[in-house]
Chains A and B, each alone.
Chain A
Amino acid sequence: MLEIKNIKKYFNETKAVDNISFKVERGDILGLLGPNGAGKSTTISIISTLIKADEGNVLYKGVDIEKEPKKIQKQLGFVPQEIALYPSLSGYDNLKFWGKIYGLKGNKLKEKIEEVSQIIGINKRLKDKVEEYSGGMKRRLNIGSALLHNPEIIILDEPTVGIDPQSRNHILDSVKEINKKGSTIIYTSHYMEEVEYLCDKICIMDEGRIISQGTKEELIQSVSAEEKIILQVENINKKMIEEIKKISYVDKAAYVKKEITVEKKGNKADYSEILEAVSKNQGHLMSMDIKKPDLEFVFLSLTGRALRD
């Protein structure tokens, strides 16, 4: 449906996007994950025809969007990172304007405003001016304004920045619901848990490049990440650590003060031998935490930095 081929974009001497390629299929939720300045917003600005790539192509259904931008523009719902609304107009007037911009009118427009305002949960505040809305409501209206014309592709650029957890959850659920109705979604975020929750495919970006892409599982496997067990133990001794290391599914074991970190091999969900080794050596177990590998770990492994550094 959408193919990004070797696109590059420079701003003066800075490489904002450096030779990136990926594909989006119909019905996908594709996540662009990366820290601020990774090139996510520039990439989607190119896809949405707002700016042109210096090199490379974006093909929508096989058509180069630089040559025929109208082709994708009509089928695109674009939700910019910043709130792109008219604060002195009401929520209803904003939706009405954006609906009309996409050619909706009359009863169809009214019906769509009704439907979208239900989805984003602002139907009771439609008459109020946007400047009177909370941050979360503005974000939701910002998304709603891009949904009115039933777009094939919806691009959401960091739609949850700076809002409360409740609104955030509402937005994430809304995105899933919209996807279920048939829209393809490109979602950018620097929140690993959002991308994990929503996306079927993920492109991890850093410094203008895609450093890894695939499903969540594929990404985790690509860095050979395994489960970790963190134990808080009183009275730790060397014999205890040696016995843990000898267990067949344990790869590594180490301790610092009262904390033992055990790295597992394989998917076996059995921890009894580790607990037995602790109690046998007069250790007193205070707590146990099992850490599964995540995208944060993947990013850390690939770049040596945390995602939110």
Chain B
Amino acid sequence: MINIFLKDLKLFFSDKKTLASIIVMPIIVTTILSFALSGSFGEAGSDWILNIGVVKEYDKNSEEDKFIDFMLDFAERYDVDIEKFADGEKQFEEFNPEKIFFQDYLGNEEIKKFLSYEVMSKKEGLKKLGNKEISSLVILPKNYMYDMYINTFTNFRNKLEIRVISHPDMNYSGSITRELMKNFNNIMSSIIISKNVYFESVSPYLNSEEIGENISKILSSNEYKNDGINIEERRVDSKNYISSFAYYTVAMLAMFVLFISSYGGKFILDEKRNNTFQRQIVSGKNLSRILTGKFLMMFTMVLIQSLVMISFSRLVFKINWINLPQIIFITLLSSLMVASLGLMITVVTLKTNNYKVSDAFSSGVVQILALFGGSYIPLETMPKFIGAVGRYTPNGALLKAYIKTLEGYGFSNITEHILVLIVNILVFSIISILIIRRKSHAEFIKS
């Protein structure tokens, strides 16, 4: 049996094409998918920084002059003592929309931990966005200063729209930037609303000096400096982030191990066609021994493939394979699952005497299982029924078990997936044994 196993392993390694498709292909596909879909995943690590660009479409000086002209015209027209109402230049200087946005908001200590911005022209910003040097471009529009002054110092309300352009591959980064800008708008709106309410409800009872003092207090409430900005860097469940590299290493591993299961069938039919199978039978080696050799070959190939993928991802993608005993346990179960599935395919291939069974599995069934098991797209983003089915597929359970381990979950949190794998192993093995027992050896031998 060991001789048959070693010979099968030698045959596997002697076929460069097979070896490439089992060892090299998963590495290539993982690399491509990880880079291509990196924007759909959270970046791991505390040094994660959101890089954005900010475009100033407004002209600070001319818009300030424009506002002063407006106020002077307003005061003259309605005979308002502008000096007393707004406490003159002091208050105007204190309320600086540019300073509020850049220093008080984006420069806030909490935001600075994960966001870095750079002021740039729109053209430069779009170019950097295209090159993914920044994830989003925030555009402060023309009249930003003027509109902010109008909204703040008068009871008029001008529409002010801060635009955010994001790279399509960096969805999550784009969402965070949009949320930040929405938050900034909300803070400014609440200040402006407070001021307007005050104007309309209190001003009839107070003199202009008292109004000026209280407006000054509202504007200097500093809400935009600290309050309302509470960024939590950790996941809700305090677990590790899964990068696209970690996800696709595991997803491709869970998919590519399934391909190995078709090789038992292919190998045994090759042997039948070149009569080495019959020769082994004549030498006294029974069918069970030959099949056990194939089982061990597939088991070992999954171990080798997993070891290569894990080592590659550790060295190249710097993926931290924590909880090694749990990873080893899952890998051993994965090898058993693939070998028992392979055994079933081998027996059916031998019985039908046709390559179609193993071919159909490797070219069709694996792809369907990959889709349902979350190897291409995470199950969380798929329709609910696919997610429900996927978690019970062998590769889906395998993927979940690995991912949860990488996230930091212990054995008790992966028992469901382990059970799914064990049930798969049992089902495949029982079907194989039933087929072998129900058919005579002669039926397997005849060509």
Check A84–B10 contact: CB distance below 8 A. no
Rounded to whole Å, the gap between the CB of B322 and the closest CB of chain A is 40
Chain B: CB-nearest residue to A69: B284
Q: Residue A88 contacts which of B4, B15, B279, B284 (CB distance < 8 angstroms)? A: B15
Q: Tell me the complex Cα distance, A83–B283, Å.
A: 16
For B14, list chain A residues within 8 Å (CB).
88-89, 129
Q: Tell me the complex Cα distance, A301–B79, Å.
A: 141
Given A50-B281, A73-B284, A83-B275: A100 in contact with B3 (beta carbons within 8 A): yes
Which of A50, A70, A85 has most chain B Cβ within 10 Å?
A50
Q: Tell me the complex Cα distance, A62–B52, Å.
A: 91
Check B442–A89 contact: CB distance below 8 A. no
8 Å CB interface, A95-126 against B: 97-98, 100-102
- The segment out of A74-82, A240-248, A257-265 that lies at the interface is A74-82
Q: Tell me the complex Cα distance, A141–B162, Å.
A: 81
Q: List 12 A-B contacts (CB under 8 A).
A: A48-B282, A50-B281, A52-B442, A82-B275, A85-B274, A86-B11, A87-B274, A88-B14, A93-B7, A93-B10, A97-B7, A98-B279
Q: Residue A73 contacts which of B7, B274, B283, B442 (CB distance < 8 angstroms)? A: B283
Chain B: CB-nearest residue to A48: B282
Residue tally, chain A, CB below 8 Å to B: 28
Which of A51, A80, A88 has most chain B Cβ within 10 Å?
A88
Check A102–B274 contact: CB distance below 8 A. no
Asked if B292 is an interface residue, CB under 8 A from chain A, the answer is: no
Check A50–B445 contact: CB distance below 8 A. yes
Check A84–B274 contact: CB distance below 8 A. yes
Q: Tell me the complex Cα distance, A76–B278, Å.
A: 14
For B281, list chain A residues within 8 Å (CB).
49-50
Rounded to whole Å, the gap between the CB of A269 and the closest CB of chain B is 48
Asked if B276 is an interface residue, CB under 8 A from chain A, the answer is: yes
Check B285–A88 contact: CB distance below 8 A. no
Rounded to whole Å, the gap between the CB of B206 and the closest CB of chain A is 97
Asked if B51 is an interface residue, CB under 8 A from chain A, the answer is: no
Check A80–B283 contact: CB distance below 8 A. no
Check B11–A51 contact: CB distance below 8 A. no
Rounded to whole Å, the gap between the CB of B370 and the closest CB of chain A is 29
Asked if B280 is an interface residue, CB under 8 A from chain A, the answer is: yes
For B278, list chain A residues within 8 Å (CB).
50, 80, 84
Check A80–B279 contact: CB distance below 8 A. yes
Chain A: CB-nearest residue to B446: A51
For B445, list chain A residues within 8 Å (CB).
50-51
Check B274–A83 contact: CB distance below 8 A. yes
